[in-house]
Amino acid sequence: MDNNCKNLSVTTVNKASELINPLDEALSLEQAVEPCTMVIFGAHGDLTKRKLIPALYSLYSQRLLPDSFCVIGLSRTQMNHDEFRLSMCQAMHEFADDVPIDKDTLAQFANCLYYLPTNFGDNKAFSALSLLIDELKVKHQTRGNNIFYLSTPPSLYIQIVRQLALASLAGTKSGKKTPWPRIIVEKPFGRDLASARLLNQELHQVFAEHQIFRIDHYLGKETVQNIMVLRFANGIFEPLWNRQHIEHVQITNAETIGVEGRGAYYEEAGNLRDVVQNHMLQLVSIIAMEPPVSLDSEDTRDERSKVLKSIRPFDLTKLDQYIVRGQYGPGCIGGQKVPGYRDERNVSAESQTETFSALRLYIDNWRWADVPFYVRSGKRLAKAITEIAIHFRRAPHRLFHNTREGEALDPNVLVLQIQPDEGISLKFATKQPGPTTHLRWLSMDFAYDTAFGTTTPSAYERLLHDCIMGDASLFARTDAVEQAWELITPVLEAWAAGPRLDFPNYSAGSWGPQASDNLIAGDLNAWRHL
């Protein structure tokens, strides 16, 4: 097996020792974690190949995994251990573009991988899993600590959780004793409030809340994590982070891609369920949260939960004044013609599924009263970008009368760019050189890749490490999940009961339907030109 991994072509080669400087090694020792086994359900799927295995290998190469660690992959596909290892090595070379690969280190990592073909509804399969876990507990000295990663269709979540309980694999719910079980649940966490509550009830039958890690990869992105540092470690920002100084906030998640062959899934989900209910509302909660009393996971999650609880419910009798939906038609992206949503594979020719949403939110608390939060998300838009833009209030008096006639005094804007190029910029006014006072708007820019001279870790890398460490700060809690669904479910029900819309209503390659511009223009604002 080792030769198979070693003989695969290597795109980037670095000695493992060269990846670690003394400071990194000291940090690794400081962050020592307990031994454990990670069990991945759905291990032959795209998520495992594209995200999970590259993230785990990167942690392994940096010595951020415990010395006593192994992975068990489960799926319906018939494979043995060596075939699974070879498949994962090939996936590393195909998908892990940002991870430096060393042949020897990859071979060592592959020796920690095991595979069990499994029918998730078969009791005997979970008995076999229990036996393999016990075997590897001795071989890899994992002490019986287990992390179960649900990388399967959501329809299998409850079935797998029940099978883990029947096979006595969930362990104790009381306290944080060793050996411990933990479970990582991929979104979506339900498809409405009722199903989210049912999923949470089933999880809590087997696991305690501190053992449940609902993963939202947006929360693992460096810029998202940096929001708290920006606010709470810099005395210049937090005093301004309120309704007295901020006029409005814009959050944009724009994709140029379509449904990428996932038409059947997207027909069931739609943009509001797929992105807004989780990713976008989580961003709102981090931007708007109060300072926590500590960085303990429960303290930070308490503050995010308070924000979600404070978001004003939509007036369903005036829903069009607060939320807009759209669906893309044919158009051009990057000079190439692309089909409309209804022309995608496994999509109904009369589909009413939204591929775009724009919302105006209000947070009814002391800090944010009457400050609109504009959120938009969509597929087949003009540019692929995710950012948060904080628009400060304009200077109260137009002091510089010698500026050009009709020239508007723009507001200062603080932009947190989450992807593709993570960074922060601040827009401010300056005088252009010359005999007259002519204002020019410039930006101070900070980019992660140039500032630190290193590749930004992937979101999954950070989140997997946090789970192994037992730190749930960046994971969604039961109350936050249900609060988000309490806000969104009435909208979904109103849409389902309402009249059919004249879709498509925006062209691929545009910035969404005209109604989205009208939504924000009603407040005399406009979406940022990205």
User: Which residue in the list 279, 401, 465, 529 is annotated as catalytic?
Assistant: 279
Q: What's the CA gap between 196 and 482, in Å, rounded? A: 7
Region class of 406: left (phi > 0), else alpha (psi between -120 and 50), else beta: left
- The reply to whether 248 belongs to the active site is no
Distances (CA, A) of 169 to 156, 189, 348, 468: 17, 22, 42, 17
Structure tokens, 431: 């005088």
Structure tokens, 265: 């899934």
Q: Are 508 and 331 in contact (CB under 8 A)?
A: yes
DSSP classification of residue 61:
H
Distances (CA, A) of 208 to 180, 202, 458: 11, 11, 28
Q: What are phi and psi of 313, to 5 degrees?
A: -60, 150
Q: What's the CA gap between 71 and 65, in Å, rounded? A: 12
Q: What's the CA gap between 203 and 211, in Å, rounded? A: 10
H or E stretch covering 37: strand 36-41
Structure tokens, 405: 């006639």
Active site residues: 279
